[in-house]
Copies of this chain bind each other. A is one copy, B any other.
Amino acid sequence: MSSVKHKILVLSGKGGVGKSTFTAHLARGLARDENTQVAVLDIDICGPSIPRVMGLEGEQVHQSGSGWSPVYVEDNLSVMSVGFLLSSPDDAVIWRGPKKNGLIKQFLRDVDWGDTDYLIVDTPPGTSDEHLSIVQYLSCTNVDGAVLVTTPQEISLMDVRKEINFCQKVNLPILGVVENMSGFVCPKCKNESHIFPPTTGGAEKMADDLKIPFLGKLPLDPRIGKCCDEGTSFFEEVPDSPATQSYLSIISKLRKYCQKDGQTESSMDCS
């Protein structure tokens, strides 16, 4: 991991809030600069969505002298996921914790990550084996921190608060909170609906209350889901959409944070 400059974990607490979608867009956004080497590690062992979202379904991992080779989307964007190790995409990975932890360790140790500027780690929902393991295995490296993704409704914020509690307990810096699926603009009449209503003030208020940076809101746009299903880049398909602008603004904030923080050591314990 010494050749990997920045490491960002994408966490949420609750599932289905758009972690993998955000991870994919963050990676694609950072990789728009062709001098930036970006890698994505998907540690959602039982539900790996990253291969599909990044248009890599059916790809396989290759073994080389320097370890497992990740799969490349572009010259400067590589991906590793358990999805590349399955014989069929419908195969369930029915594994208990220790086996999942073993694979995560292998992903970090045996994959030839090469010189990477940003490693984005997509995680499953919750605060269990995968989360403890990745934090533990990365604890002696310089982890920039975690981005927390949520939807506006209280039922999702509840789980994000748990995730914040987790980050504090394991000394993982929080880079900020992103609110996904914030509003839906009817394509016919342009009326905006809150499909997932922010009954308790949404993520911005929560971030404010808890003194955590709020990175921005991403609107619900069916074209995002469509691009994810098809594995295409939303930035290329719909470059002028409000969602693209929001993504780029969030990515720019994260890049600045990492570059500012790049030279300082992480506050994580190396135990």
Contacts and interface: CB of A to CB of B under 8 A. Distances in A.
Contacts of A128: 45-46, 94-97, 100
Interface stretch (A47-55, A240-248, A262-270): A47-55
Given A49-B155, A98-B97, A163 B92 contact: yes
Nearest to A196: B225
How many copies of this protein are present in the complex? 2
A98 B226 CA distance: 38
Nearest to A101: B96
B16 A47 contact: no
A154 B52 contact: yes
A96 B90 CA distance: 26
Contacts of A132: 94, 96
Q: Which of A95, A126, A194, A196 has the largest count of B CB atoms less than 10 A from its CB?
A: A126
A208 interface: no
A35 B228 CA distance: 46
15 contacts: A13-B47, A92-B162, A92-B163, A92-B169, A153-B228, A155-B225, A155-B228, A186-B193, A187-B191, A188-B189, A195-B195, A195-B225, A196-B225, A199-B225, A199-B226
Interface of A: 13-17, 20, 45-47, 49, 52-53, 89-98, 100, 124-129, 131-132, 151, 153-156, 158-159, 161-166, 169-170, 184, 186-189, 191, 193-197, 199-200, 220, 222, 225-226, 228-230
